[in-house]
């Protein structure tokens, strides 16, 4: 029988990680509440998605312990299934946990397993690569690729500083063309972000109108021709004043096409480089289920 199964998927190198005492106590407390517990540790990229896919259909839930990349893999592995995920943030940014106000404490996690309310979320697709939160084209993806090429363990926020400054100094911001549901939104964007949920890294609320369950993706196009333009956009975004500026184009739709005539540009999804332009984004409405606190307001993210 697996009706009471809780599968725990742990990424041992994600962010600061959790000490073994947390995992030991989580297993003990969940077991005391009558659930069977199965602990699986990821070994390589894509492993968390496979472990989630292989979870029995009548399991109570999958607990994902890791950073945003791990949570994204777990949720994408559960796409189209009734099994929900409970997340424990132990990464660098923990965007998904912040979006839903989840702290990842032992008490909260046990409560999610036992009493959590499942909410349905859309799943974005960058070409064929799924994502839950966001995708970045060009500059953002180059920095992500630089960081991951040197990764040999947990990624701390400081690991992004050097690559960001180097790319900021040398990147030429080639113009990017974006079409939303067949209509031209922008043909001179320097940076493009596709959002399924509102938050991005560093606390930026780039997709201010994004809702993870509306069957649409949001796209933010920053018209940028120099490194100084980029800094200016960053300051406005920090203040939440970027969307209504004439140098920013914002759209929502079910199909978003991104292309750059001068050269292919890398694309990152949920913090991992996964594709290149030209690329079409689509959405699978309400394809995954996430456990939130039972008292959380339906339809509201933080």
Where in the chain are the domains?
5-115, 129-285
The CATH code for residues 129-285 is 2.60.200.40
Which band of pLDDT confidence, cut at 50, 70 and 90, is reported for residue 221?
Answer: very high
- For the ranges 31-40, 150-159, 288-297, which has the lowest average pLDDT? 150-159
Residue 283 · residue 252 · CB < 8 Å: no
Residue 31 · residue 43 · CB < 8 Å: no
Q: E strands, the chain, where?
A: 5-10, 36-41, 61-66, 85-89, 117-126, 129-131, 134-137, 176-180, 183-189, 191-195, 217-222, 248-253, 255-259, 266-269, 272-276, 279-292
Q: Calculate the dihedral angle through the C-alpha atoms of 137, 140, 141, 145, rounding to the nearest 10 degrees.
A: 170
What does DSSP assign to residue 107? H
> How many CB atoms neighbour CB 171 within 10 A?
18
Name 6's bridge partners. Answer: 37, 61
From CA 230, how far away is CA 189, in angstroms rounded? 11
pLDDT in tens, 197-219: 999 877 888 899 999 999 999 99
Q: Name the fold adopted by 5-115.
A: Rossmann fold (3.40.50)
* pTM of the predicted structure, to 2 decimals: 0.88
Q: What is the pLDDT of residue 72?
A: 95
Q: Choose among 113, 162, 171: nearest CA to 142.
A: 171
Which band of pLDDT confidence, cut at 50, 70 and 90, is reported for residue 176?
Answer: very high
Q: What is the pLDDT of residue 45?
A: 86
Which band of pLDDT confidence, cut at 50, 70 and 90, is reported for residue 1?
Answer: very low
Q: Give the mean model confidence (pLDDT) for residues 70-84.
A: 96
What are φ and ψ of residue 138, in 5° steps? 90, -120
Contacts of 107 (CB under 8 A, 6+ apart): none
Which band of pLDDT confidence, cut at 50, 70 and 90, is reported for residue 274?
Answer: confident
User: 5-115 and 129-285: same fold?
Assistant: no
Tokens standing for residue 183: 């209509």
Q: What is the pLDDT of residue 300?
A: 54
Mean model confidence pLDDT for the chain: 87
Tokens standing for residue 224: 């940028």
Which band of pLDDT confidence, cut at 50, 70 and 90, is reported for residue 227?
Answer: confident
Instruction: Indicate if the pLDDT at residue 258 is higher than 90.
Output: yes
203 φψ region: left (φ > 0), alpha (ψ -120 to 50), beta (else): left
Q: What is the pLDDT of residue 185?
A: 97
pLDDT in tens, 80-131: 999 999 999 988 789 999 999 999 999 999 999 999 999 999 999 999 999 9
Cis peptide before 278 (omega within 30 of 0): yes
Instruction: Indicate if the pLDDT at residue 2 is higher than 60.
Output: no
Q: What is the pLDDT of residue 271?
A: 83
> How many CB atoms neighbour CB 231 within 10 A?
12
Q: Give the mean model confidence (pLDDT) for residues 277-295.
A: 95
What does DSSP assign to residue 102? -
pLDDT in tens, 126-167: 999 999 999 999 888 888 777 766 655 555 555 655 656 677
């Amino acid at each position: 029988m697996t009706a009471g199964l809780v599968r725990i998927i742990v990424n041992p190198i994600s962010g600061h990680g959790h000490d073994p005492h947390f995992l030991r106590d989580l297993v003990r407390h969940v077991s005391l509440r009558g659930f069977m517990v199965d602990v699986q540790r990821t070994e390589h990229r894509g492993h968390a998605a496979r472990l989630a896919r292989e979870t029995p259909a009548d399991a109570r839930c999958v607990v994902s312990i890791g950073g945003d990349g791990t949570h994204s893999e777990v949720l994408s592995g559960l796409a189209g299934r009734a099994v929900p995920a409970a997340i424990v943030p132990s990464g660098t940014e923990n965007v998904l946990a912040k979006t839903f106000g989840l702290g990842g404490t032992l008490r909260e996690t046990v409560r999610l397993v036992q009493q959590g309310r499942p909410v349905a979320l859309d799943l974005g697709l960058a070409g064929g690569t799924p994502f839950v939160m966001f995708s970045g084209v060009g500059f953002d993806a180059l920095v992500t690729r630089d960081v991951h090429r040197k990764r040999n363990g947990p990624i701390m926020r400081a690991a992004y500083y050097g690559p960001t400054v180097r790319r900021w100094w040398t990147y030429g911001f080639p113009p990017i063309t974006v079409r939303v549901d067949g209509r031209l939104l922008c043909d001179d964007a320097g940076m493009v972000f596709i959002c399924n949920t509102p938050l991005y890294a560093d606390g930026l609320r780039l997709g201010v109108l994004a809702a993870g369950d509306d069957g649409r993706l949001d796209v933010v196009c920053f018209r940028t021709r120099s490194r100084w333009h980029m800094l200016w956009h960053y300051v406005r975004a920090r203040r939440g004043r970027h969307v209504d500026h004439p140098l920013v184009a914002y759209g929502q739709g079910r199909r978003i096409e991104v292309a750059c005539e001068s050269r292919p540009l890398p694309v990152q999804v949920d913090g991992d480089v996964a594709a290149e332009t030209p690329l079409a984004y689509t959405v699978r409405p309400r394809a995954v289920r996430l456990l939130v606190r039972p008292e959380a307001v339906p339809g509201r993210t933080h």
